[in-house]
């Protein structure tokens, strides 16, 4: 299975026949190498409603006739636009046929900001996804602070890859992300939600060095870089 990091928190997973993109933010992303029209997927998974995670969800869904998987409220927002959606909630699992995606909680906020009307639309609870696909388990934490239930995730799931935000300010920073990795008992960690903008710039080499001290492999990818996922 292949993973492509598209910058910020956006990753794309593919087994050659099926493909998923999580939190597509390409338009307006200063570090993204791909464009929305380059993305070919069957499913779009959204962790929460903020525009730096959903910016290209509608365009990709329409171009691919893809299904958006998100919390009940956020899925309805897109269903009302005429898109195919699966609206689920925290703790639930959806079977995509080739993979299973469990929606787990995160500690953040979630809304859609309509700037023209100065209106904020509630988008349900923020979350993360635990994906089981081709014997590989990947946890995408979405935007979150450090929280104790990450220990439970590590106990319940054999996490091969944890995709964790490290940018600080809006999410947990590197120090807390190292603790999260330990609690999750993750074998590998891919840092995201960093260095897109000056306010969340981080030293990924220093972060991966800290992980190595705890026997965890840090995989700091550049936008556009690919990785083969192995059990």
Count of CB atoms situated within 10 Å of the CB of 36: 19
Q: Give the Å distances, CA to CA, from 105 to 64, 71, 126, 159, 174.
A: 28, 11, 7, 16, 20
Residues in the chain predicted with pLDDT less than 70, given as ranges, are none
pTM, to two decimals? 0.98
The CATH number assigned to the domain with range 2-221 reads 3.60.15.10
Determine the pLDDT at residue 231.
Answer: 80
pLDDT digits (tens, 9 = 90+) for 195-208: 999 999 999 999 99
pLDDT tens for each residue of 25-54: 999 999 999 999 999 999 999 999 999 999
In the chain, domain spans: 2-221
């Amino acid at each position: 299975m292949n993973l492509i990091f598209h910058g910020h928190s956006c990753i794309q997973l593919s087994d050659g026949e099926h493909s998923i993109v999580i939190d597509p933010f390409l338009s307006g992303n200063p570090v993204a190498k791909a464009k929305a029209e380059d993305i070919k997927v069957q499913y779009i998974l959204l962790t929460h409603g903020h525009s730096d995670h959903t910016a290209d969800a509608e365009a990709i869904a329409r171009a691919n006739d893809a299904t958006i998987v998100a919390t009940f409220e956020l899925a309805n927002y897109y269903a009302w636009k005429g898109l195919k959606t699966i609206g689920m909630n925290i703790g639930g699992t959806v079977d995509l046929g080739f993979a299973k995606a469990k929606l787990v909680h995160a500690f953040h906020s979630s809304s859609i900001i309509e700037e023209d009307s100065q209106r904020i639309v509630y988008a349900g609870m923020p979350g993360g996804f635990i994906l089981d696909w081709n014997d590989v388990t990947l946890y995408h934490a979405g935007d979150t602070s450090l929280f104790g239930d990450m220990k439970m995730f590590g106990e319940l799931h054999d996490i091969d890859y944890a995709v964790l935000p490290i940018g600080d300010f809006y999410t947990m920073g590197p120090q807390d992300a190292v603790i999260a990795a330990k609690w999750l008992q993750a074998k590998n960690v891919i840092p995201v939600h960093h260095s897109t903008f000056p306010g969340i710039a981080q030293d990924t080499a220093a972060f991966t060095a800290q992980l190595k001290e705890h026997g965890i492999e840090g995989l700091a990818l550049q936008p556009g870089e690919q990785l083969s996922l192995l059990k």
